[in-house]
Amino acid sequence: MVIENSRILIVGDDPGIRKTFERILSPQKAFMPLHMVTGIFDKIDNGDVPSPVKTNGFQVFLCEAGEPALKVVKNASQKGEPFAVSFIDMKMPGLNGAETAREIWKIDPDIKIVIVTAYSDISPDEIVEVAGRDDILYLRKPFSLEEIRQFARSLTYQWNIEKKLIQMKERLAEANKKLKETNRNLEAEVIRRTNQLIHSEKMSSLGILAAGIAHEINNPISYINNNMVSLQKYTSRISRLLNLYENLEELIEKKAISSEAVACIKEIRQYKEKNKIDFIMEDIGNLTSESLDGAARIQTIVHDLNGYARFSLEEFEEASVENLVDTALNLIASEVKHKARVVKKYAKLPRINCVPQRIMQVIVNILLNAVQAIDGEKKGVIRIETRLKEGEANGENKKVEIEISDNGKGIAERNLSKIFDPFFTTKPPGNGTGLGLSIAYEIVKGHKGTIEVKSKENVGSIFTIMLPVK
C-alpha cells in the first residue's frame, strides 16, 4: 500500500498565527485578516498570499498549547493516522516548543518538527538540548510564506519517503525470507531428484546385469538341487546296507557264526561292490562341499546385488576400496567372463571415508563401459590397479587412485570432452541412457575426488578415479 501522509499539526497560543498557517497550507479555507499576524512575516503584500491554484492543500490540524497537542498526537497514532509534520511555536504557556517536541517524539518519534522562534527566544543548541534530538528544525521570525510552504512540502515528502523505504525494506525482507525458503525447498528437491536419478541409473545398470545375474544364481541352485537328489539316492542305498549290517550284528550277537553268517557277509560285500558304496562315501563329502560352496555363492551374489541396488542417502562410512572393486566384479561377473580377462594389482590401501554404494556404482559403470568397448570376436583384457598417493609431509590429504583400463575400441578424440555430459552416448539408440559416466563423475565430485580418462581409438581407454582418504 502506498503511503501518502499530508497531515500537519500547528501548535501555538496565538490564534492569528495558527489560522495564518492554515491559510498558507490549506488555501481553500477562509483566510484571516493579515493585520492580525503582522510581525511574523518579513514581507506582507498581495504577492505573498498563496494561490489555491498553485498549492495543493495539506490536512492542517490546530492546537492552542503543548498539552492538548500531546493528546491529539497520541489519538492520531492510535487511529493509524499519524502526523507527518508539526510546526510548534517556541513561546507558549505551560510546555514551551522544545519541551512539547520532546514529549511528542516520545509518542511518535517519526514526526518532523519545526520550532517557530524569534532570534531572542532561545538558541538552536538550547532547543536541541531540551528536545533531546538534533534533527529538530526551526524557523526564525520574521519568515516568508514560501518558507512555510517549502518546509511543509519537503518534510511531508521526506516523511513519506522514509515510510516507503521502511515498507520496501519490510517487503524486501519478506521476499528474501520467501526466497530462502524457496531455495531450501529447491535444494531439497534437487537432492531428492538427484538421488532418484542415481537410483534410476542403478536400475538401468541392473537391467543390463539381470540376465547374467539370473544365470549366475541359477547355476549354483541347479547343482545344489542335483546334488541333493543324488544324496537322496545315496542315502537310500546306504540305508539298505545298514540294514544288512544290522542283520549280521544280530547273528554275531547270537554267536551264530555259521554258514549263514558267511553268506550274509558275502551278500554285504557284493552289495557294496554293486552299489559303489566306497565311492558314495567318498563322494558324499565332495557333494556336501559343493553344495555349501554353491549356497555361499548365492549368498554373496544376493548380498552384493542388494548392497548395490539399495537406495542410499548420503551415509558416509569407512570402506575398503579393494572390497568395493571385488564386489563390483562379482556383480558383473557374467558380463565379463566371456569377453575379458581381469588382471588385478592391488596396493595396500587404507580404508576411505565414502558412501560405499555410490563408489561401487562408479566402478560398475566404468567396468560395464570397458566390457561393452571390447570387440566380441576376441577376448580382451581389463586391468584394475590401485595406488596410494601420499599427501602433505605430515600425512594429511592422502588419496587413493583406482585405474581401470581396457584394450577395447577406445573413444574418438572429438568425444573425449563430452563423455561426462548428461545423456551423451556413442551407443546405438536403445543401448544406453548416456547417464552412466555423468553420474559417476558427479558421485566422485561429491566425494571431493576427480575422475579422468585417456583413450585412443582401437587401442583402449584408461579411467583414473582419485578419492581422498578422508
Q: Which of 15-29, 103-117, 210-224 has the highest mean pLDDT?
A: 103-117
Q: Above 60 in pLDDT, residue 403?
A: yes
Nearest to 5, CA basis, from 150, 170, 155: 155
Nearest to 263, CA basis, from 247, 275, 276, 278: 247
- Per DSSP (E only), the strands in 170-256 are none
Mean pLDDT (the chain) is: 78
Q: Give the pLDDT band (50/70/90) at residue 214.
A: low
Output the nine-digit C-alpha cell for 104.
Answer: 511528542
Region 279-295: mean pLDDT is: 75
pTM score of the predicted model: 0.41
Pick 384 or 198 by higher pLDDT.
Answer: 384
Q: Above 50 in pLDDT, residue 35?
A: no
Q: What percent of the chain has pLDDT over 70?
A: 74
Q: Which of 186-190, 242-246, 442-446 has the lowest mean pLDDT?
A: 242-246
Instruction: Give the C-alpha separation, 367 to 231, whole Å.
Output: 40
- Name the helix (H) or strand (E) containing 62: strand 59-63
Q: Above 80 in pLDDT, residue 402?
A: yes
- Name the helix (H) or strand (E) containing 8: strand 7-11
Output the nine-digit C-alpha cell for 305.
Answer: 546385488
Please write the tens of the pLDDT for every residue from 85-144.
999 998 899 999 999 999 999 999 999 999 998 766 678 888 888 889 988 988 887 778
HSE of 364, CA atoms in CB hemisphere, 13 A: 32
Mark out the alpha helices in 275-401 (DSSP H runs).
277-309, 321-331, 333-336, 356-373
Q: Above 70 in pLDDT, residue 394?
A: no
Give the CA radius of gyration of the chain: 49
pLDDT value, residue 16: 85
Nearest to 91, CA basis, from 17, 31, 148: 17
Region 376-381: mean pLDDT is: 78
Cα 86 to Cα 137, 144, 182, 307: the distances in Å are 10, 18, 45, 77
Residues 337, 339, 345, 351: is their CA dihedral positive or negative? negative
Does residue 69 contact residue 111 with C-beta atoms inside 8 Å? Answer: no
pLDDT value, residue 235: 74
Q: Give the pLDDT band (50/70/90) at residue 434.
A: low
Q: Would you tell me how many other CB atoms lie within 10 Å of the CB of residue 10?
A: 23
What residues pair up with 462 in beta bridges, in sequence order? Answer: 405, 454
Region 53-67: mean pLDDT is: 77
Give phi and psi for 12, each to the nearest 5.
-175, 150
Q: Above 80 in pLDDT, residue 211?
A: no
Instruction: Give the C-alpha separation, 56 to 236, whole Å.
Output: 119
Does residue 352 contact residue 469 with C-beta atoms inside 8 Å? Answer: yes
Region 1-11: mean pLDDT is: 79
Q: Above 90 in pLDDT, residue 181?
A: no
Instruction: Give the C-alpha separation, 140 to 117, whole Å.
Output: 5
Instruction: Find the length of the chain.
Output: 470
Q: How are strands ordered across the β-sheet holding 85-89? A: 59-63, 7-11, 85-89, 112-117, 137-140
